[in-house]
Chains A and B, each alone.
Chain A
Amino acid sequence: MALLEVNNLRTSFFTDAGEVKAVDGVSFFLEKGKVLGIVGESGSGKSVTAYSIMQILAPTGKIVGGSVKFDGRELVGAGEDVLRTIRGNKISIIFQDPMTSLNPTYTVGHQLEEAILLHTNRNRKQARERAREMLELVGVNEPDKRLRQYPFEHSGGMRQRVMIAMALACEPDILIADEPTTALDVTIQAQILELMQDLQRKMGMSIILITHDLGVVAQMCDEVIVMYAGGICEQGTADEIFYNPKHEYTKGLMRSIPTVGNDGQRLQPITGTPIDLLNMPKGCPFAPRCDNAMKICLTQRAERMQINADHAAACWVNVRDGLNAGKGGEANA
């Protein structure tokens, strides 16, 4: 049994313009001590997947199907009392926008202490000590002074580090990090990533790392999920995804980023415009932008197919080329 099992998760937002199927049939397993990366275009459903696991969706959002199991326990439909024992204690999240997740009316120290008191077995004095320790750990200078300050007195990078300190201070089993370092400078990013890796190894923590930075994925992740238009288009070990991509979107993504290898060459961008979830094409959602789209791609969505033991993708090109080893298979390739 995996620590976290997500099965055919579907989450929609009900808006005036219609139902937005933000997450549409997402399945994966997360094992203890593993780092799972989620990449994909802006709006492809990465954050909503994370919020669905934590069940912290906006009021217009609803999980309309599927299941999320933590340690064998079903979370979809579970009561607030159950969820309260999970959130923060077992699964912590670092949000994309640090300002929205800190309370502006309390000092940073107070908020850190409260989180630690709530989620670990420490007394006030130990919590205070732990808060200071965590700030130091995430590279905040003058932690004592910082603890007495309010969030608005901190720079964006500083606030993000406080959020990371807060999520890690509770020693969760799973850390969901939604673009944790996107707003930070690379030297600070390197510190934070190393810190996360360190804690993950020491505490056996599992991490779901959402990012658009393929470099961060390459450095950090054991497994990778690639999302497009609310679904998983490809999933596998990091090596498989980077060295043997088997979905046309992933291939396009790899060709469009500057690397050390394509020095002096023109990048090959993915053409066309990002998907509109309210006007989804009938067949493969990537077909309108795909250079290799065939007739069948325009009419029928490809199912997830195994490429090999470590790799699955949903793309008709693999069927054409006889690369599919079998349909469906385990959620985690």
Chain B
Amino acid sequence: MPEHQTLVEVQGLKEYFQINTGFFRSRPLKAVDDVSFTIHKGETLGLVGESGCGKTTVGRTLLHLYKPTAGKIIYDGKEIESRESIREYRRKATMVFQDPYSSLNPRMTVSDIVAEPLDVHHLTANAKERHERVLELMGLVGLNSEHASRYAHEFSGGQRQRIGIARALAVNPEFIVCDEPVSALDVSIQAQVINMFDELQDKLGLTYLFIAHDLLVVRHISDRIAVMYLGRMVELADAKEIYDHPLHPYSQSLLSAVPLPDPKIARANKRIMLTGDIPSPLNAPTGCPFRTRCRYATAKCAESMPPFEKVADGHFVACHRVKEIN
């Protein structure tokens, strides 16, 4: 295996939201619970899992957009904790959002949207430099210079997503959290934006945490993939490895459920059906979070939380029975 340089390291990350449950009463909603992983420099780590499992919260907490309830975030060897370190970190790590329609201010011109981070971080010396940098960024994402003075609402979904990405690139980031960046786009436009992420990574050496619910898109773009369930990370492995040999019972069902765009394969595909719904994170089961839907669950699964452990080179799984069932 090639040597990897760690860029982002997350240890025991927790993000609990206090939810009001009545007069002066509240309960913690454990959106992210004790999650640890690393992201290598220059790689794309895909993050998948059902709606509400905590993907966005991981991304936001990782960027200190939410203050972590517990845990450590170490970037390039330095713990991000003090106000100073957070400020510096924000120039290296940024985010691209899902919805190209609502994440851009319709009353701002493209030029002002892209330049906003330049202004916030005082990255250009004068108006001329600012303008040149804006045009350069727009060029990077395949937008014309004539677009600069137009308003965001005049653009199609794919173009708006490009504007969002140009803005994210303004600070010259090394690391970008991409939260469902192509989900709102039409299929024919998705491919354009996916390719752009690929090309920017090659050109600028970027590192991505790529969150998406389309598992084929994630497989396509990611080097490694992490699977979450109910606030916990349950599996992490090389992208191809996890598709070919998922080891956690949840990943096995999740991946078998993906409809493949090939009629002969799709018809023959054996799906491992899950019954019922994902439990509420306010009422997470004891022990393994997946046990209420797991066909392998035993008494032990209700008693204790399975540790997230290495089962093969670069392959981590949190399941008491991983050895027996595979």
Mark A residues whose CB is within 8 Å of B.
41-42, 139-141, 157-158, 185-191, 193-194, 212-219, 238-239, 242-243, 252-254, 256-263, 266-271, 273-274
Sample of 16 further A-B pairs with CB below 8 A, known A258-B194, A260-B262: A41-B186, A41-B188, A141-B276, A186-B215, A187-B253, A187-B274, A190-B274, A215-B258, A215-B261, A216-B259, A218-B265, A239-B264, A257-B261, A263-B219, A266-B195, A269-B189
Q: Find A257's partner among B191, B256, B266, B274 (CB 8 Å cutoff).
A: B191
A257 x B216 contact (CB < 8 A)? yes
A187 to B273 alpha-carbon distance, docked (Å): 7
A274 x B156 contact (CB < 8 A)? yes
In chain B, what residue has the closest Cβ to A242? Answer: B263
B245 proximity list for chain A (CB < 8 A):
none
Q: Find A141's partner among B253, B271, B277 (CB 8 Å cutoff).
A: B277
Q: Find A187's partner among B194, B217, B240, B254 (CB 8 Å cutoff).
A: B254
Q: Find B186's partner among A186, A193, A212, A252 (CB 8 Å cutoff).
A: A212
B192 x A269 contact (CB < 8 A)? yes
User: A207 CB to closest chain B CB, in angstroms?
Assistant: 15
B271 x A194 contact (CB < 8 A)? yes
B11 at the interface (CB under 8 A from A): no
B65 at the interface (CB under 8 A from A): no
A218 proximity list for chain B (CB < 8 A):
259-263, 265-267
A42 to B158 alpha-carbon distance, docked (Å): 12
B187 x A253 contact (CB < 8 A)? yes
Within 8 A of A (CB), among B148-175: 156, 158-159
- B220-255 to A contact mask, C-beta < 8 Å, 1/0: 100000000000000000001001000000000110
In chain B, what residue has the closest Cβ to A222? Answer: B263
B274 x A191 contact (CB < 8 A)? yes
Known: A185-B50, A256-B190. A267 touches B277 (CB 8 A): no
A258 to B182 alpha-carbon distance, docked (Å): 13
B304 proximity list for chain A (CB < 8 A):
none
B195 proximity list for chain A (CB < 8 A):
266-267, 269
B190 proximity list for chain A (CB < 8 A):
256, 269
A271 to B278 alpha-carbon distance, docked (Å): 39
User: A304 CB to closest chain B CB, in angstroms?
Assistant: 22
Mark B residues whose CB is within 8 Å of A.
50-51, 156, 158-159, 186-192, 194-195, 198, 213, 215-217, 219-220, 240, 243, 253-254, 256-267, 269, 271, 273-278
A269 to B254 alpha-carbon distance, docked (Å): 27
**Interface residues of chain B: helix, strand, loop or mixed (majority):** helix
A242 x B186 contact (CB < 8 A)? no
In chain B, what residue has the closest Cβ to A255? Answer: B191
In chain A, what residue has the closest Cβ to B240? Answer: A263
Known: A219-B266, A268-B191. A260 touches B257 (CB 8 A): no
Q: Could you list some 11 contacts between A and B, CB below 8 A? A: A141-B276, A158-B277, A185-B50, A185-B278, A187-B253, A212-B186, A242-B263, A256-B188, A261-B262, A274-B156, A274-B186
A117 to B119 alpha-carbon distance, docked (Å): 63
A29 to B240 alpha-carbon distance, docked (Å): 42
A258 proximity list for chain B (CB < 8 A):
194, 216-217, 219-220
Known: A141-B276, A190-B271, A215-B258. A259 touches B216 (CB 8 A): yes
Q: Find B187's partner among A189, A190, A257, A268 (CB 8 Å cutoff).
A: A257
Q: Find B213's partner among A141, A185, A239 (CB 8 Å cutoff).
A: A185
Known: A189-B257, A266-B198. A256 touches B263 (CB 8 A): no
Q: Find A259's partner among B261, B271, B273 (CB 8 Å cutoff).
A: B261
A191 x B273 contact (CB < 8 A)? yes
B258 x A267 contact (CB < 8 A)? no
User: A183 CB to closest chain B CB, in angstroms?
Assistant: 9
User: A167 CB to closest chain B CB, in angstroms?
Assistant: 20
A215 to B261 alpha-carbon distance, docked (Å): 4
A213 x B273 contact (CB < 8 A)? no
A139 proximity list for chain B (CB < 8 A):
275-277
Known: A185-B213, A266-B195, A266-B198. A214 touches B261 (CB 8 A): yes
B186 x A256 contact (CB < 8 A)? no
A194 x B273 contact (CB < 8 A)? yes
In chain A, what residue has the closest Cβ to B239? Answer: A263
A194 proximity list for chain B (CB < 8 A):
271, 273
B262 proximity list for chain A (CB < 8 A):
218, 242, 259-261
A252 to B188 alpha-carbon distance, docked (Å): 8
B257 proximity list for chain A (CB < 8 A):
186-187, 189-190
User: B18 CB to closest chain A CB, in angstroms?
Assistant: 21
User: B64 CB to closest chain A CB, in angstroms?
Assistant: 28
A141 to B292 alpha-carbon distance, docked (Å): 12
Q: Find B259's partner among A140, A215, A269, A270 (CB 8 Å cutoff).
A: A215
User: A224 CB to closest chain B CB, in angstroms?
Assistant: 9
A191 proximity list for chain B (CB < 8 A):
273-275
B267 x A219 contact (CB < 8 A)? yes
User: A16 CB to closest chain B CB, in angstroms?
Assistant: 18
B187 x A212 contact (CB < 8 A)? yes
